[in-house]
Structure 1
Amino acid sequence: MAEGKDQRRRTGMAALAQAGEDDDFSVIDAIGGPRGVVESMLPGVLFVVLFVVTNNLNLTIGVSAALAALQVIVRLVQRQSVMGALSGLLAVGICLVWAWKSHEARNYYMFGFLTNAVYLVLLSLSLAVRVPGLGLMVEFIRSLPTERFRAWFDDWMGDRALKRAYMRATALWIGVFALRLAVQVPLYLTDNVVWLGTTRLLMGIPFWALAIWVSYLIIATPLHRHKAAAKAAAQDVAVKDAAAPTDSRK
């Protein structure tokens, strides 16, 4: 049973979609497990250390690219899931190409600035129109609205406690993205690659883990109550449907 449960572990926002179902929510599992954390941080650590030691951008880019590719190859050889490693390879590849094309090490971090800025703007707009972006993501993962979109939307938006929790969690993530940009962009503008790389690492996985954990604390209880209420309503409908033929014969 334990093995099957571990296989159902989800990461990122998908882990939040299970909030209220598991009493043993794990931040480490939610951010990809120990191996996922190491694989996510290692390319960035290597890039900073190698560039500082050698001051050779081309060598740094080549070794970083080789490491990212090696991580995917190892997972393939071990016949493990490669989706996380492939997405990481793609992200690292974009960063490395950006730095190589511009001949500036600091541009390795430009892609991260853009993604943080996009998330910041989209989530801020979602709060402005009172449709929490985090709620949209979690509910979309939890129950894909292939049909009856309006009913799906009204179901969770109509739950005031759940919507309020999603609004707070969305504001939390806006703060994370805004703080990253506020700290790191000045370092980029002053071409301080060492401190930029260091703060990027410190505000990467650790901030992600903290935001996931606090988001779980915010939404777990209202989401659990919402799921319980939906299950009870579905059972009531089933009982009424089962009793309907008997009533009609009377």
Structure 2
Amino acid sequence: MAETKRTGLGALASADADEDFSVLDAIGGPRGVVESMLPGFVFVVLFVVTSDLNLTIGVSAALAVVQVIVRLIQRQSVMGAVSGMVAVGICLIWAWRTHEARDYYMFGFLTNAVYAVLLAASLIARVPGLGLVVEFIRQLPTEHFRAWFHDWMDDAALKRAYMIVTALWMGLFVARLAVQVPLYLTNNVALLGTARLLMGIPFWALAIWVSYLIIATPLHRHNAKASAAPPVADEAETSD
């Protein structure tokens, strides 16, 4: 059985300077890109063409469901499609309840704002948020949390790289809000939808690629040092 390729920040968690890194694979491959962008594309185009919000919501909802059904029929992983369907569903319900097409994008504003605030707080605390996420995915510290935390935080080069990419991702979320919120306030659905698409997957792919360039080498060196280091005796054994 072929190994499932990690996507998103999971791809960064397996980054290695000696291996090829595929941005396309990291963002879900061609099919993942299409499935991610298609509902938003259909929503903005259909609404601009018809100005019928109910029709636009109905078609967009049906499309999200069809994507999941197709994956089920083909016996492929449906997690990405299901999570995408849930996100689209929240956006559609929001627009339906307010009867405002622009509110389709409100959930995205909230998530981007939350991410930006959390990453900013992590930078202020000098504990890079992206480092926490990537290292958690890499090692899943079910025990010895303190040792896990200090293992990568005490590596100055690796911590510096994580601080940089954390600032990069915070900038991504802030840039989205800076461009899209004024379009929301002026009720320019066409431009708002276009900006959302352009600043979605393309920006995501760019952020992942630049993040890889920044963290791959220090992460590889960190792993090499860890492999070369002699095993540390368990605390219970050393205390006997």
Fold similarity call, TM over 0.5: yes
SS in 1 for 2:231: helix
Matching residue of 2:48: 52
Alpha-carbon shift at residue 237 of structure 1 (Å): 2.7
SS in 2 for 1:9: coil
- Residue 127 of structure 2 is aligned to residue 142 of structure 1: no
Matching residue of 1:8: 4
Matching residue of 2:221: 225
Contact 2:13/2:137, CA 8 A, preserved across alignment:
yes
Matching residue of 1:182: 178
Alpha-carbon shift at residue 22 of structure 1 (Å): 5.7
Residues 185-224 of structure 1 mapped to structure 2, 5 A cutoff: 185-224=181-220
Alpha-carbon shift at residue 132 of structure 1 (Å): 0.1
**How many pairs were matched up?**
234
Residues 2-41 of structure 1 mapped to structure 2, 5 A cutoff: 4=2, 7-20=3-16, 23-41=19-37
Match of 2:129 among 121, 127, 133: 133
Residues 71-150 of structure 1 mapped to structure 2, 5 A cutoff: 71-150=67-146
Q: TM-score, normalised by structure 1?
A: 0.91
Gapped regions of structure 1 (runs ≥ 5): 241-250
Superposed structure 1 runs of 4+ greater than 6 Å apart = none
Do the aligned partners of residues 126 and 78 (structure 1) sit closer, same or farther apart at CA in structure 2, a change above 3 Å counting? same
Gapped regions of structure 2 (runs ≥ 5): 234-240
Q: TM-score, normalised by structure 2?
A: 0.95
Matching residue of 1:244: none
Contact 2:122/2:128, CA 8 A, preserved across alignment:
yes
Alpha-carbon shift at residue 47 of structure 1 (Å): 0.2
1:152 and 1:79 map into 2 onto residues whose CA distance is 37
Residues 59-78 of structure 1 mapped to structure 2, 5 A cutoff: 59-78=55-74
What percent of counterpart residues are identical?
A: 77
CA RMSD of aligned residues (A): 1.4
Do the aligned partners of residues 211 and 158 (structure 1) sit closer, same or farther apart at CA in structure 2, a change above 3 Å counting? same
Amino acid at match of 1:16: L
Matching residue of 1:158: 154
Amino acid at match of 2:89: G
Which is greater in Rg? 1
Amino acid at match of 1:141: I
